[in-house]
Structure 1
């Protein structure tokens, strides 16, 4: 299973705190990984982070919160909206019900290593305790405390690839 974490338009918008210059190099790498997953029929799940204050409002539909067009989900790929760092228990149960039979290997790619990658990795590890969890450092980006987060994940027996 491939989880693409929070690859949204706001990452390319200078007016947002989440703007990150490393995204320009990350997008083609994640796109290549996404194409590999699709060609091997690996389940792909996208997360989209909508701040809690915009939940159930018109602002949640703002273009900044939409997924990057370069990584557009296909109709059969799951998009999970989250309102905090990690997916909700309800979404995790949905994913488990739908993909438990394909969960022997779970890879996370995307942004904010010290927050969203970290939080989603831990919750996925709890949801799928027998799965091999992988974080490839060439397919993630973080602005603060990224190395500390990777060390923490390694301590949780996550396969952190350098």
Structure 2
């Protein structure tokens, strides 16, 4: 199973509010990994971060809609082959977690690999790994360190170290 975290205009498009150059570094690798999942008929889950109401007072609805949209490079494949789960903060909320459990409990067996890719390592990737790890404690959770990124290299590295100590396999 592949879990794609927040592949949205917000961080991947140069016009996005939180765009960072590191997103360009992981974009092609994430695209290849999505294609691999499609070719292997692997389940794909993706998160979509929706901005909370307080953000609407700080910027335009148009800006928020743009940032919330899935980045066009990923959109067609995720829309066609993936299952979208929305969140308003860092991690998938309980009602969405229950849906994931119900939709995938029969597909996720002991030692089933669940790989995470996306942004930001130290915030949303970390938070959603914790959610999925609690839903499927017997699964082998994996993060490809070359397919996740953070605005801080230091926090990225520290988060990978923390995840490794939480029985998450870090791959390249």
TM-score, normalized by the shorter chain, greater than 0.5? yes
Q: What is residue 161 of structure 2 aligned with on the other side?
A: 151
Q: What is residue 63 of structure 1 aligned with on the other side?
A: 66
Matched, 1:13 2:14: yes
For residues 72 and 44 of structure 2, what CA distance do their matches in structure 1 show?
16
For residues 80 and 162 of structure 2, what CA distance do their matches in structure 1 show?
35
Q: What is residue 119 of structure 1 aligned with on the other side?
A: 127
Alpha-carbon distance, 1:159 to partner: 0.3
- For 1:7-156, list aligned pairs within 5 A: 7-11=7-11, 12-14=13-15, 16=17, 18-53=18-53, 59=61, 62-72=65-75, 73-103=78-108, 104-144=112-152, 145-156=155-166
- Cα RMSD (Å): 2.0
Kept in 2, the 8 Å contact 1:5–1:48? The answer is yes
Closer, same or farther in 2 for the Cα pair 1:89/1:27, shift >3 Å?
A: same
Kept in 2, the 8 Å contact 1:55–1:83? The answer is no
Question: Can you give the 5+ residue segments of structure 1 that lack an aligned partner in the other structure?
Answer: none
For residues 49 and 15 of structure 1, what CA distance do their matches in structure 2 show?
13
For residues 160 and 102 of structure 2, what CA distance do their matches in structure 1 show?
28
Deviating above 4 A after TM superposition, structure 1's stretches of 4 or more consecutive aligned residues are none
Kept in 2, the 8 Å contact 1:80–1:91? The answer is yes
Alpha-carbon distance, 1:2 to partner: 0.6
Question: Can you give the 5+ residue segments of structure 2 that lack an aligned partner in the other structure?
Answer: none
For residues 54 and 73 of structure 2, what CA distance do their matches in structure 1 show?
24
